[in-house]
Amino acid sequence: MKISLITVTFNSQKTLRSTIRSVLSQTYPNIEYIIVDGVSSDETLSMIKEYEPRFNGRLCWISEKDRGLYDAMNKGVLMATGEVIGFINSDDLFAENTAVEKIMRCFLQNPDADCVYADLYYVAKNNVNRIIRHWITGKQRPFSKGWHPAHPTFYVKREVYMKYGLFDLSYKLAADFELMLRFVEKDAIFMVYLEDSLVKMRLGGVTSNSLKNICKANFECMHAFKKNGIRMGGFYPFYRLIPKLRQYFQ
C-alpha cells in the first residue's frame, strides 16, 4: 500500500533540509514524496535536487507559480498516485522514523478506514526539541465543540479527495479546516484515531504568526460551518480561540 507525502515550499531553505531528512528516515518502504514549489528564489530548489537521487525515483517535484498555499496543496493531491495522502509542511518533521509505518499499519488493520489521524507536538521555531504545546487530538467529537484533527496528522485515502473535492481556494488561512470539516461532518468519512504524537510542527506558520491572522482564521472557520450547512454553537469562537491565544502568547 503506497502513501504519497506532499510538501509545499516557497523559499524554505532554512527548514526544508530537516523535513526532507525526516521523510528519508522513515522505515516504511512504499513512500512517494511530492514537493510542490512556488518558484523559490533562495536555495530551495538546489536542496531538492541535492536530495533527489537519494529517493531512488520516489521523489517527484515541480516548481511553478501558484495561487497560494492551498492551490499548491491541490496540485500535490492531483500529482499523487498513492492510496493514502498526507502532508508534511516544509518547516515540520516527523517525530520518529516509524511514524509513517504506524500510520500505514493502522490503515491495513482497519481496511474500511477513510482516514487516520493522530497527535502532534508544537515545537520552538529554532529548536525542534523544545516542545511548546502537545496537541492531543483525542477521539472524535463534534467540530462545533472546538475539536478537530491537526491537519499535519490527517492522512486520507486518495479516493476521498477524488469523491468529495480538494481545498477550497476561497479560504486563505483555513482551507485545511474547511476540508476536514467537510470530509468528517458533511461527508461522514470513517476515521481511526492513532493515539501517538507523530509530527513536530514549528510555531510561526502563516496562521499563527500574528493575532490578526489568528482572528481572521477563526472567522474563516465560522464561515466554513455556514457554507457546509453544519450547525455551529454560539460558544464555538471561544472553544477555538482560547487555545490559539494561549499558544500565541507562549
Q: Is residue 138 part of a domain?
A: yes
Position 10 in a domain = yes
CA atoms 181, 182, 186, 189: torsion sign: negative
CATH code: domain of residue 130: 3.90.550.10
**pTM for this model (two decimals):** 0.92
CA pair distance 144, 125, nearest whole angstrom: 30
Residue at 172 is within a domain: yes
* 235 within a domain of the structure (yes/no): no
The boundaries of the domain holding residue 33 are 3-205
> Does any domain span residue 190?
yes
- For residue 98, is it within any domain? yes
Task: Look at residue 227 and tell me if it is in a domain.
Answer: no
Q: Is 248 exposed, middle or buried (0-12, 13-18, 19+ CB in 10 A)?
A: middle
Give pLDDT, residue 248: 47
Give the max Cα distance, the chain: 53
55: in domain? yes
- Please name the residue that has the C-alpha cell 468528517: 184
Q: What is the pLDDT of residue 213?
A: 78
What was the pLDDT predicted at 146?
A: 86
Contact 148, 181 (CB under 8 A): yes
Residue 150 has phi, psi (to 5 degrees) of -75, 125
User: How far is it, in rounded angstroms, from Cα 151 to Cα 155?
Assistant: 8
pLDDT tens-place values along the chain, 250 residues long = 999 999 999 999 999 999 999 999 999 999 999 999 999 999 999 999 999 999 999 999 999 999 999 999 999 999 999 999 999 999 999 999 999 999 999 999 999 999 999 999 999 999 999 999 899 999 999 999 889 999 999 999 999 999 999 999 999 999 999 999 999 999 999 999 999 999 999 987 555 556 677 778 888 998 999 999 999 876 666 666 665 555 444 4
Q: What's the confidence (pLDDT) of residue 68?
A: 95
The structural domain count of the chain equals 1
